[in-house]
Amino acid sequence: MFGPQTGYFAPQLLMLQELQGPGISARGASFAGLGMYIELGRGQDYAWSATSASQDVTDTYAVELCQDSTHYLFHGQCVPMEKLERTNSWSPTLADSTPAGSYRMQVWRTAYGPVEYRATVGGKAVAYTQLRSSYRHEADSIIGFQELNDPGFVHDAASFQLATRDINYTFNWFYADSRQTAYYNSGTNPVRAAGVDASFPVWARAQYDWQGWDPTYNTATYTPPAQHPQSVDQDYYVSWNNKQAPGYTSATFGNGSVHRADLLNDRVKALVKAGGVTRSSLAKAMEDAALTDLRGEDVLPDLLQVIGSAPVTDPQEATAVQQLTTWLAAGAKRHPAATGSQTYANADAVRVMDAWWPLLVQGEFQPGLGSDLYNALAADLTIDESPSAGHGPTGSHAGSSFQYGWWSYTDKDLRSVLGQNVQGPLGQRYCGAGVLSACRDMLLSTLKQAAATPAATVYPGDDTGCAAGDQWCADSIVQRPLGGIGDDRIGWQNRPTFQQVVEFPGHR
C-alpha cells in the first residue's frame, strides 16, 4: 500500500491513465500536463510509488558583487549576471472573475544559480544564490520514468532500482511484485568540498565548489548509486517523509524521536508481529493513523507523566487532565463522534491540546533559550502543524499534518527531566530548568490557561467559510478550485491523496 500526499484540488493535480504500446504497459497516476509516462502506478506484474525524500541537493552561495549590483566575481573575474524576464497575463474565467491584467517577473541568474537575496558580509556587498543539482536538468528524469513503464526493462527489484537511479529528483521509491519488495532513494547528490556544511551559506569561490562541477552545464560529481539508501526484501517499509536510513537526514527539520511516521510504524510493526498481514488489515492501520493526533499519541504520555508526579489539586486543572487522559485512552483521535457528524469525539480534549501545545512549548523552551533566540527559532522552525494550525508549507485545510513541529524537542526534554535515558539528548534540560517540580508547575499553569481558552479563539473563522469555534471545519480539507467547478470540503484525514493497494498472484 503506497501513495503520495499531493494536496486536494478541483480538479486534482493527479490524473489516472493507462498507457499501452511498444515498450510501455502501465496504469496509474501522473501529474496533469506530465502524462507522457505513468509516474506512480503498476506494470503487468509489479507496482511502484514514491514519497518525497528531501535530502539536501541545494546549496546557498554568497556571491561577491563587483562594479554594480548586476555583476559578480566568478573565479576571479567580474562577469555580468544573466537577466531572465517573463510577462504573465490573465483574463476573467468562470472560476475567477478577477479583471484582466498582467505582471512582469524578473530574475537575475549567476553561474551559482538564481539570486534569492542581497546582503552585506563584512562590509562586502553580496548576492545570495541557490544552486540545485537538478537545476536546468528537470527533464532528464523522463528516462527513469520511461524505464519504469517498460515491462521489458523492469522485471524485478534490481531492474526497478536501475530505473529509479535515472531519476534526479529526491524521492523515496518503493517496489512490490509477487516475489520481492524494494526501496531506492533517488537524486543527484553533489559531492561537496571538504569543510562545507550544507546547512549554511558558503562563499562562491572555487575551493567551495562541488567536486567536478561544470558551471556551463551545471553537472558535477555525484555520490555513486551504491551510496544511496536502498534495500531489497526488508521485513517491511514505512515512509512518511522520514529519514531515508540511519546516518542520513533531510534538508528540512523535523526528524527525531517523534515523527509522524511513528503513527504508521507502530501499527504496521504490530501487524507484522502478529503475522498474516492482509490488504484490509494494512488499509485499516493506515486509516487509523490518518485520524490520529501525533502529539496526543506520542508526546501526551510524557506530559501526563510529568504532571502525574504529584497529585493535581486544582479542580480546573484536574478536569483538563482527565479529559486528556480519556482522549489518550481512546486513541488520541480527531474524528467525528458518529458517522456524518461534524462534532468530534472528545472535542474538549482536542481543543485543549490545540490551545495547550504552543503555550507549553513556549513555557518549556523560552526561559532557557531567551526570548530573542526562542522567537527567532520559532519563526523559522514551525512549532506546530496540527490540522487547523495553518502552519508549515501546506497551509491550512490541506490534510497533511504533523510533519513539522517541536515534538521531538519536547519529548526528549521531558524524558530527560523525568530522569530517563535519552538517546541523542538536547544540550541541556529546558523544562523548569531541569527541575521536575518546576516543569510540572509550568505545564499545569499553561494547561489551565489552555482549558480556559474558548473554541472561538482556538479556531477563529476563516475565508473558506468556517465560523469561529467550528472545530471540525477548522480541521477540514478544502478542495482548492482550479476550474469552474468546485467540490465540497471533507473531514480531516492525514493520508495520501492517491493510493494503491496491490497484491500480485504471480509473476512472469
- Residues in CB range of 373: below 8 A, 6 or more apart: none
21-44 average pLDDT score: 96
**Above 80 in pLDDT, residue 333?**
yes
Helix (H), strand (E) at residue 18: strand 14-21
**Above 70 in pLDDT, residue 250?**
yes
Query: With contact defined as beta carbons under 8 Å apart, do 126 and 116 qualify?
Result: no
**Above 60 in pLDDT, residue 392?**
no
How confident is the model at residue 419, as a pLDDT? 98
d(CA 211, CA 190): 7
**Above 80 in pLDDT, residue 277?**
yes
- The second-level CATH assignment, the architecture, of 58-132 is Roll (2.30)
Domain 9-56+136-255 sits in CATH at: 3.60.20.10
Using one digit for the tens of pLDDT, what is the confidence trace for 184-233? 999 999 999 999 998 899 999 999 999 999 999 999 999 999 999 999 99
Instruction: Locate 432 and state its grid cell.
Output: 523548569
Going from N- to C-terminal start, the domains of the chain cover: 9-56+136-255, 58-132, 292-479
52-71 average pLDDT score: 95
How confident is the model at residue 2, as a pLDDT? 95
Instruction: Work out whether strand 101-110 and strand 14-21 pair parallel, antiparallel, or are unpaired.
Output: unpaired
* Least reliable range by pLDDT among 239-248, 349-358, 433-442, 449-458: 239-248
Among 33, 94, 95, CA closest to 482:
95
How confident is the model at residue 391, as a pLDDT? 61
Q: How confident is the model at residue 176 (pLDDT cuts 50, 70, 90)?
A: very high
How confident is the model at residue 394, as a pLDDT? 61
How confident is the model at residue 393, as a pLDDT? 58
Higher-confidence residue of 431 and 389: namely: 431
Among 54, 76, 70, CA closest to 4:
54
How confident is the model at residue 246, as a pLDDT? 79
Using one digit for the tens of pLDDT, what is the confidence trace for 455-490? 999 999 998 899 999 999 999 999 998 877 889 999
Query: With contact defined as beta carbons under 8 Å apart, do 110 and 93 qualify?
Result: no
Question: In the predicted model, what is the mean pLDDT of the chain?
Answer: 95
This prediction has a pTM of: 0.93
Q: How confident is the model at residue 97 (pLDDT cuts 50, 70, 90)?
A: confident
